[in-house]
Structure 1
């Protein structure tokens, strides 16, 4: 199916609209790497936020489903340029550099997920890591294959970046709304991974099912949503999401700023982070 008019410029996500349901597919790191090699400036944080903002205004859409483009492939972003030793020159800092665009995209994505009046379902069809799990926790309903691994890895990035960092992509605000405080702290501070089955057992997500049953579960939720009043759904979501929007307002800007500070500190230390900071 052809990409709907108005969505074709979002390079790192694919949008398909059929019978009032928009399916947003997140590209894999491999596909984003191919685009980058071709000179693309594709940036998932930013593209997803803009696509969701566009869908919020699209009267042809009543329900949004976010999923990975390939079943079984992880929801995870490529590492930044200095993950492979190609550390960016600290001076000059261009505006907007990739950090600015990424964090702007994070805020747009999370705030739109909280504010858009249409129900959003996370169809987790692969491991959900980093920003992927923050997207998942920002959705209204979450169905996942039971063997999918879910983790916020900001505090386990020594082996990739050379330093750990603050979860500034929304996880720090959203995870405490889905887990008991002690579990949320363990998950974030120790970067403890969980399977989707474990998250469903603790009540942090709606469903964890065998991969072969995932489509049926999501389709059932979509069918039920489409059978209800669009206005009643929209206003009910707004009421329920006030708490989420308030939590994002309290902490998302600060968390993004703190993570940005961690990155800039690393850039200015010749790749040798000061772990005492």
Structure 2
């Protein structure tokens, strides 16, 4: 179900999630965070949906935290889910960010919370929190140094200056750099490629990648063996092998 702040639309097996507060540059207030969380719940619980695309209305991804709402005492975070109901959420289904225009502060952090990012070449990514006496606490300080070299991440975090989508591509921050206005279409194409694959395998990839960040390599391999053991017992593995042998597309059940 869509809300006034967040629209959802099922396109094939992908859920398109659109932050829809263009008059506020799609900044995140409490209602918007709740709307994103509700959309992610729909994605997680609907077996017909296998991936999500997150974007913003009217050519802007998100300006981040709604400072006016914050001054009124509203929180843009949800307990257990983080900023925007997303940055700390442990989703099992792949999520692609489609970034047009500004992805500033929490907006950038929402994109970092997704599995893939498609950016318009003239998009703007930045973490300006230090200019307001804050830090990028929605994942920027934690995640960005893991995605790009240390000194480049520190430039984002310490100067607060933005970079273009084209520069983000050069830094390896995004998967695709596209012409202005094409980010959502390309993100949906990427999602379609993803959803052609086995749902249980996609969830296992996300689980192992997430867990491996905080544990030793032997522990990660141990976790991976458990996941592989479960996958090998699934109907989808047999279907994948049978479909390959029969030279046809597999019909996944997620079982």
SS at match of 2:86: helix
Contact 1:20/1:63, CA 8 A, preserved across alignment: yes
Contact 1:43/1:102, CA 8 A, preserved across alignment: no
- In the other structure, the counterpart of 1:257 is none
Q: Say which of 95, 98, 117 aligns to 2:74.
A: 98
- In the other structure, the counterpart of 2:171 is 202
Contact 1:11/1:42, CA 8 A, preserved across alignment: no
Larger RCO of the pair (alpha carbons < 8 Å, separation 6+): 1
SS at match of 1:98: coil
- 2:94 & 2:48 partners in 1: Cα distance? 14
Contact 2:19/2:61, CA 8 A, preserved across alignment: no
Q: Say which of 60, 82, 97 aligns to 1:73.
A: 60
- In the other structure, the counterpart of 1:255 is none
- In the other structure, the counterpart of 2:6 is 13
Contact 1:68/1:125, CA 8 A, preserved across alignment: yes
Question: Is the aligned partner of 1:125 residue 2:100?
Answer: yes
- 2:151 & 2:190 partners in 1: Cα distance? 31
Contact 2:43/2:51, CA 8 A, preserved across alignment: no
Question: Is the aligned partner of 1:110 residue 2:87?
Answer: yes
SS at match of 2:67: coil
Normalising by structure 2, report the TM-score.
Answer: 0.73
Q: Say which of 50, 53, 62 aligns to 2:41.
A: 53
**Change over 3 Å in CA distance of 1:149–1:32 after alignment to 2:** closer
- 2:11 & 2:207 partners in 1: Cα distance? 24
- 1:210 & 1:48 partners in 2: Cα distance? 26
Contact 1:46/1:106, CA 8 A, preserved across alignment: no
SS at match of 1:236: helix
Question: What displacement does 1:212 show?
Answer: 4.8
Task: Give unpaired runs (5+ residues) of structure 2.
Answer: 216-255
Cα RMSD, aligned residues only: 2.6
Question: What displacement does 1:32 show?
Answer: 8.6
Normalising by structure 1, report the TM-score.
Answer: 0.67
CA deviation string 1:48-77 (max 9, x = no partner)? 23321342122121010001122x235114
- In the other structure, the counterpart of 1:146 is 121
Question: Is the aligned partner of 1:221 residue 2:190?
Answer: yes
Task: Give unpaired runs (5+ residues) of structure 1.
Answer: 1-6, 34-40, 89-96, 158-163, 247-277
Question: What displacement does 1:214 show?
Answer: 3.0
